[in-house]
Chains A and B, each alone.
Chain A
Amino acid sequence: MNAETLIVLLYVLVLASFVGFELISKVPPTLHTPLMSGSNAISGITIVGAIVAAGPDTWSVSKGLGIAALLLATLNVVGGYVVTDRMLQMFKKKKK
């Protein structure tokens, strides 16, 4: 990675952070728990890195670490989304 790529990635980071702050400061307290578990699932995006790390054809320490990462990241992603959906399903408005 050269300096130019790094700068581009830093731009992405800064802009995405601003978007994040803007979007989330408006979330009502009712939704804070689902927001947290939902964003927790999103942080499992590391799974992308885990797939790459687990990718080589031949076994090595590096690949082993990748497979371990893949297992934990999958747990995080799938569990996070399922539990968030389960919670949001319960939120109901008053029936008239």
Chain B
Amino acid sequence: MEKDLLIRIAYLVASVLFIVGIKMLGKTSTARKGNTLSAVAMFIAIVVTLLDSQVLSLTEIFVTILVGSAIGTIAARRVEMTSMPEMVAIFNGFGGAASVLVAASEYWRMAHDAGMSMPVVVGVTIVISVIIGSVTLTGSLVAFGKLKGLINGRAIVFSGQHAINAILFLAVLALSVLVVIDPNMEIWMVGVLLIALLLGVLTVIPIGGADMPVVISLLNSYSGIAACATGFVLNNQVLIIAGALVGASGIILTQIMCKAMNRSLTNVLLGGFGQTGGAGAAAGGGEEIVVKEVGVEESAMLFESASSVIIVPGYGMAVAQAQHVVRELTDVLERNGTSVKFAIHPVAGRMPGHMNVLLAEANIPYDKLIEMDQINDEFANTDIALIIGANDVVNPAARTNPGSPIYGMPILNADKARTVIVSKRGMSAGYAGIENELFGYPNCLMLFGDAKSTMTKVVSELKEAIPA
């Protein structure tokens, strides 16, 4: 029994390291160490499990682990930072799938191979694990498809959607009860699995592309809850603890994202939101917006004489790969004595904190990136607000127009700056499909063209004017 005790202690150590690791992930200075610590915890848990289940002699296990590690490492090293949301989505899906497979394996072993009767508690945990894991799997795959553009990013809605979801949900509950009562009937289990997979698709499909940050966070939470459920199946505390940490983290991020978009969590959990996009365009259409254009030379002159600049980056900047030239702009302006800051809206990018990563990749120090609440009062005392690739997060309609679909969403007060320069490809509406009245404001100048090439021209003009 001494070995058993040692193994339990090792799991305890792993659990503590997970908690400390997550704690350290919460501070920029210690985050990297925290991640390493949590990896160490994972390593301990894996090694201990390998020893405990006496599988050291089984080559297939090692081959599988090696193959998985190799693919995982290559994918993680190659992925572009703009594609992080897709990466997280697909990994979430894998985590969910792993939970389903483990539960299914355990079910098969008990109900089929051994022909044992399955205790009710075990049956319940297995069914929960299969359901949550399946929803996580297909939900994540749909999210991945939407982010990658493989399937239509717009909200896909059809009549009776909620009714169908409700019926499927009740069906899955009924089948679950049957599985628990009569575990030897595999057909019930297959039914649970299939319906849960379908539910995952149906709950994510009605969610529009602009709401993806919420979905990714929520699925992240589900993957944790799925791991938790597997912990109950196997009576293993480390799974429960690690899963609960992830579940909590995902739920908190979901709430933050909801708040940033002025939506309620219930609304998200029921699915079927983000449909405002289509209706919004019609509601927003009033009088024509008349804009003022500005050229590269004039913009450069404005920047040269500015003493303070706030840059509002959006996902469009990353798509245009303009973040590096934006860094150059920052450098040359600072050489001229101009203060440069970045205003980051919580939903800038395609997942929580995405913009921070994209700017960090371009070597922009993180202490220049200011959160919305902290920077919003500064716009009024700022010479230039440069909006690059962002749209809905600076739309004053969110403050003023109760008819607008984004009314009530907290926005960056870029319009309060003395001059607003908008770098934009054309007059197309934002991701939410809404006109932006800011573009017609008297202090707003439009710098049309591809963000990367226009910014490069502005920077070279400035470099001539401001010698190194």
Residue numbers in B under 8 Å from A24 (CB-CB): 22, 26, 245, 248-249, 252-253
Q: In the bound complex, what is the Cα–Cα distance between A61 and B79 (angstroms)? A: 34
Question: For the complex, is B468 an interface residue (Cβ under 8 Å from A)?
Answer: no
Q: How far is the CB of A36 from chain B (nearest CB, A)?
A: 6
B365 touches A94 (CB 8 A): yes
Q: Which chain B residues numbered 213 to 263 have a C-beta less than 8 Å away from chain A? A: 216-217, 220, 223-224, 226-228, 230-253, 256
Question: For the complex, is B99 an interface residue (Cβ under 8 Å from A)?
Answer: yes
Residue numbers in A under 8 Å from B246 (CB-CB): 20, 39-40, 42-43
Question: For the complex, is B32 an interface residue (Cβ under 8 Å from A)?
Answer: yes
Known contacts A44-B42, A75-B94: does B223 contact A33 (CB below 8 Å)? no
A55 touches B108 (CB 8 A): no
A72 touches B98 (CB 8 A): yes
Q: Which of B69, B104, B353, B371 has the most CB of A within 10 A?
A: B353
Known contacts A42-B246, A62-B109: does B98 contact A36 (CB below 8 Å)? no
Known contacts A35-B25, A81-B39: does B102 contact A53 (CB below 8 Å)? yes
A37 touches B236 (CB 8 A): no
Question: For the complex, is B173 an interface residue (Cβ under 8 Å from A)?
Answer: no
A76 touches B91 (CB 8 A): yes
- B interface size (C-beta, 8 A): 113
Question: For the complex, is B319 an interface residue (Cβ under 8 Å from A)?
Answer: no
A51 touches B236 (CB 8 A): no
Interface flags for A12-50 (1: CB within 8 Å of B; 0: not) read 110011011101111111111111111111111111111
What is the number of contacts between chain A and chain B, taking CB atoms within 8 Å?
A: 368
- 30 A-B residue pairs with Cβ-Cβ distance under 8 Å, sorted by A, are A2-B121, A9-B237, A19-B248, A27-B26, A28-B371, A29-B356, A33-B354, A35-B25, A36-B351, A38-B35, A39-B250, A42-B38, A43-B92, A46-B95, A46-B239, A47-B42, A47-B49, A50-B101, A54-B61, A54-B64, A57-B58, A61-B105, A61-B113, A67-B61, A74-B69, A76-B91, A87-B84, A91-B360, A92-B365, A92-B366
Q: Which residues of B contact A (CB under 8 A)?
A: 18-19, 21-23, 25-28, 31-32, 34-36, 38-39, 42, 45-46, 49-50, 53-55, 58, 60-61, 64-65, 67-69, 71-73, 75-77, 79, 81, 84, 87-88, 91-92, 94-95, 97-99, 101-102, 104-106, 108-109, 112-113, 119, 121-122, 125, 216-217, 220, 223-224, 226-228, 230-253, 256, 344, 346, 351-354, 356-357, 360-361, 363, 365-369, 371
